[in-house]
Amino acid sequence: MKKRILLLCLIGVLMTSLMTGCVKIVKAGEEAALTQENSGKSTDVSSIWESDIIPELKGKAVDIGTFLTEAKGDISSLGEKYGKKAQGTDSKLNFTVKGNRYSRIS
């Protein structure tokens, strides 16, 4: 009985000492150096919004009526034609569509 308790205590101490290497404490503001990401400062896009972003979205957008008609109930089937993979994922697709309240869906 004493051997079992001693063995369990030894295993507990061993596990605790091994798991302490899994944690790293990083000072606030120094996360970017560790993750190799930007510091979280937002970029001002107002200067390129009208000239670059809006025209690009309008050019890539497909009419919602056409999109849903071609999909025939399976939106993922249009992934290769109209989809763009979401950043950082392997399975999620983003689609850019356009339309108005008068769009006709066949």
Per residue in 53-105, pLDDT (tens digit) is: 888 888 888 888 888 888 888 887 888 888 777 666 566 778 888 877 665 55
| Residue 61 confidence (pLDDT) | 86
**Chain mean pLDDT for the chain:** 77
Sign of CA dihedral 6, 11, 12, 14: positive
C-alpha–C-alpha distance, residues 79 and 62, integer Å: 13
| Residue 54 confidence (pLDDT) | 86
Q: Is 45 helix (H, G, I), strand (E, B) or coil?
A: coil
Across the strands, what pairs with 93?
85
